Amino acid sequence: MTFRTSRRLLAPVIAGAVAGAVAAAGLILPNRIRQADAGPDESRARNVILINGDGMAAAQREAARLHLVGLDGQLTMDELPVSGQLTTSPNDPKTPVTDSAAAATAWATGERTYNGAISVDVDGNPLPTLGARAKAAGRATGLVTTAQVTDASPAAFFANTANRSAQDEIARQYLEVTRPDVILGGGEDWWLPAGVAGAYPDRPAEDRAEASRGTKGDLITEAKARGYQYVSTADQLQAAKGGRLLGLFANEELFQPRREGAGGRYDPPASLATMTAKALSALSTNSKGFFLLIEEEGIDGFAHVNDGAGMLQALGELDRAVAVARDYAATHPDTLVVVTGDHECGGLTIEDTGTADESGDGPFPIKGSSLTFTLDWTTSGHTGVDVPVTAYGPLAERFTGKHPNTHVHDVLARILTR
């Protein structure tokens, strides 16, 4: 294995970035929570914010803590007062290790299925999704991701397909079937027919394989006809007013993972925290409450190529988005916030720098210390280890202990489907 030695990642100043994202979206949020109410009163539960660090397990969270806030610090996601553990196994005859589609289906439907499935059972039959059920109950719904908006994790909450690769069909179902009120992320290529470039040109220099490839017609034009404001830049996002909102900020993902020396970068045109703040502003006008899925895909994307620097940068962005959601919940005590990962990626461990057994990825500085640490990878794929879950708000206490990943569905459905 070739290990990266890049030091290009700078630890973000989380508080300042959160304040900027919140101000840009027009929200006024309080100071950090020190004492959180995680009481059991279901009657006051109205909103759900589910935050997915794709590919994030305990080692990823700890590496981010050391690098971003130091030995005595805590990430915002780890300050949430209730914590537990989730298993991640799919129901797949070929493997005990999940992909994002099966994992998100377990969250969205309460049923485990095969890898690649988007909210269908092992026989390919469609399953009711939390996104659709929340909409039927009168709630606003939304998704925010640094992946394609039609990628596996958001798709499982708002679509049904036998194969996660049918992203243009997933986009069509968003518009014509489940109708999320807010859709923000990447993946413009799936919303336009082949040969019809949109705001982002076909075959850009950073990835010549990216180009419009949809087979369902011009879905951006259809979205506008169905009442969505369409935005493709951060400035347009900031200026958007109320109502349904579709924002596509890249051909594919909002980042470019690459192996060492191949020019990978994490520089989203619209940050996850900014998109989160805007989504909360839009969804919170619904008197019956809302469901919002937030996903940082870059953790998984950079872990797949064993790039610790890019992964840590994505983790920092995730924690900034968690801070926006947590601060919203501080002034809206009817809001449940849940932060977890769909699976682990990379078989990651944290080692002392200079360990004699083998070299690793790094070293990376520990904030506020002269010490450093090294990241060591055992695979470029997913693993089957458990993932941590932390939560704040009504019903948060139900995440205490160890549960199957379908437990996420069971808790969220108590709020969203009544």
Residues with catalytic annotation? 100
Q: Are 285 and 135 in contact (CB under 8 A)?
A: no
Distance CA 132, CA 158 (A): 6
Identity of the amino acid at 42: E
Q: Write out the H or E segment, with its range, that includes residue 349.
A: strand 349-352
Query: How far is CA 270 from its chain centroid?
Result: 14
Residue 360 main-chain phi, psi, to 5 deg:
-145, -170
Q: Show the tokens assigned to 252.
A: 């594919």
List the one residue out of 222, 198, 202 whose CA is nearest residue 210: 202
**Within 190-304, where are the H helices?**
219-225, 234-239, 272-283, 298-304
Q: How many residues does the chain have?
A: 418
3-state helix/strand/coil string of 113-143: CCCCCECECCCCCECCCHHHHHHHCCCEEEE
Residue 95 in tokens: 């493997």
What CA–CA distance (Å, rounded) separates 380 from 243?
Answer: 41
Pair 108, 417: CB distance under 8 Å: no
Please tell me the distance from the alpha carbon of residue 392 to that of residue 337, in angstroms, as a whole number. Answer: 5
- Interatomic CA distance for residues 412 and 338, integer angstroms: 9
User: CA gyration radius for the chain?
Assistant: 20
Q: What is the DSSP letter of 44?
A: G
Dist. CA 130–CA 137, nearest whole Å:
10
C-alpha span between 173 and 338 (Å, rounded): 26
Q: What does the alpha-carbon distance between residue 244 and residue 119 come to, in Å, rounded to a whole number?
A: 24
Residue 150 CA to residue 220 CA, distance in Å, equals 13
